[in-house]
């Protein structure tokens, strides 16, 4: 075959191939569109984001000029073709990177607030534990105080119940001449002998009863003077507390003898001193 015959045949073949390719691709385009619509509806139902759609092909040349060079090179080493294929994927990757960065910031923010809430809750729990511990200590102190108060009340009740348990321990009688209220030497010695054992003792009282001859108020006043002389001597010389001494001015009242009979008053005056002790209350105080 001569070159003149080969060249026209090659040109006729190059011109006929685009038409055949276009006829072969045209029936498939509706099907591809249907497949894309089905894929899009399924993606919408499963995710809010659409998948990367495949590039729609218009014809065999896909935007290239129908010439011999593009026919030989298409679509193996075409830069525009690769850019059209890679561009949507690169855009979606950038979008995914942006979403990932936003998710990281959101997670970091949520984690920071969670840590702050945990720390605040821990501080409140620690404060509540401290308050509970303080309340427990105060309750124990209150219980101890109540126990001590109860013990003291019981002791006081016992002391009060023993107030009427005084018993006569010693009795001394001081005689006075008519019209006199001064203590004689023998009267002072008798008072010294009676008061000496009372030093540094408790739970005792001294009853002083004065008797005088005469009638009415005069006898009472005279008996009071004699009783006051005895009390003054005990307080000044033996440091007997005044609150432990009880004075009674009996006037010309008759006193009972040891056998219980009433004795007649003598012409002079006398003072009876009785020491009364409460042994039960003394033992409680010790």
The b/e string for 20-54 (b: 16+ C-beta within 10 A; e otherwise) is eeeeeeeeeeeeeeeeeeeeeeeeeeeeeeeeeee
256: DSSP letter: B
197: DSSP letter: G
pLDDT of residue 260: 46
As a CATH number, domain 167-285 is: 3.30.1330.60
Inform me whether the pLDDT recorded for 43 exceeds 50.
no
Top mean-pLDDT range of 79-88, 116-125, 261-270 = 116-125
CA 12 – CA 223 distance, rounded (Å) = 172
Q: Give tens-digit pLDDT for 60-96.
A: 555 666 666 666 655 555 566 667 777 788 888 888 8
Helix (H, G, I), strand (E, B) or coil at 117: helix
Write down the mean pLDDT value for the chain.
75
Inform me whether the pLDDT recorded for 158 exceeds 60.
yes
Partners of 110 in beta bridges:
none
Inform me whether the pLDDT recorded for 259 exceeds 80.
no
Helix (H, G, I), strand (E, B) or coil at 170: strand
What are the φ and ψ backbone dihedral angles of 249, each rounded to 5 degrees? -95, 105
Q: Give tens-digit pLDDT for 181-229.
A: 889 899 999 999 988 888 888 888 899 999 998 888 889 999 999 999 9
pLDDT of residue 89: 83
């Amino acid at each position: 075959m001569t070159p003149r015959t080969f060249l026209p045949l090659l040109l006729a073949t190059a011109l006929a191939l685009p038409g055949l390719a276009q006829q072969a691709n045209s029936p498939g385009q509706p099907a591809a569109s249907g497949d894309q619509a089905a894929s899009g509806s399924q993606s919408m139902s499963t995710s809010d984001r659409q998948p990367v759609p495949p590039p729609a092909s218009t014809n065999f040349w896909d935007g290239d000029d129908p010439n011999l060079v593009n026919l030989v090179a298409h679509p193996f080493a075409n830069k525009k073709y690769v850019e059209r294929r890679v561009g949507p994927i690169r855009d979606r990757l950038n979008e995914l990177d942006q979403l990932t960065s936003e998710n990281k910031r959101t997670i970091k923010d949520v984690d920071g607030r969670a840590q702050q809430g945990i720390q605040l809750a821990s501080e409140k729990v620690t404060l509540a534990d401290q308050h509970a511990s303080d309340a427990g200590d105060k309750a124990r102190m209150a219980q101890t105080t109540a126990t001590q108060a109860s013990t003291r009340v019981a002791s006081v009740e016992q002391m009060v119940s023993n107030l009427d348990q005084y018993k006569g321990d010693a009795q001394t009688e001081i005689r006075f001449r008519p019209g006199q209220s001064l203590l004689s030497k023998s009267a002072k010695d008798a008072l010294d002998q009676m008061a000496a054992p009372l030093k540094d003792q408790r739970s005792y009282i001294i009853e002083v009863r004065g008797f005088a001859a005469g009638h009415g108020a005069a006898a009472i006043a005279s008996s009071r003077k004699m009783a006051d002389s005895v009390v003054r001597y005990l307080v000044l010389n033996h440091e007997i507390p005044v609150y432990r001494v009880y004075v009674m001015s009996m006037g010309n009242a008759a006193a009972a003898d040891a056998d219980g009979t009433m004795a007649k008053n003598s012409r002079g005056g006398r003072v009876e001193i009785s020491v009364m002790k409460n042994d039960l209350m003394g033992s409680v105080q010790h």
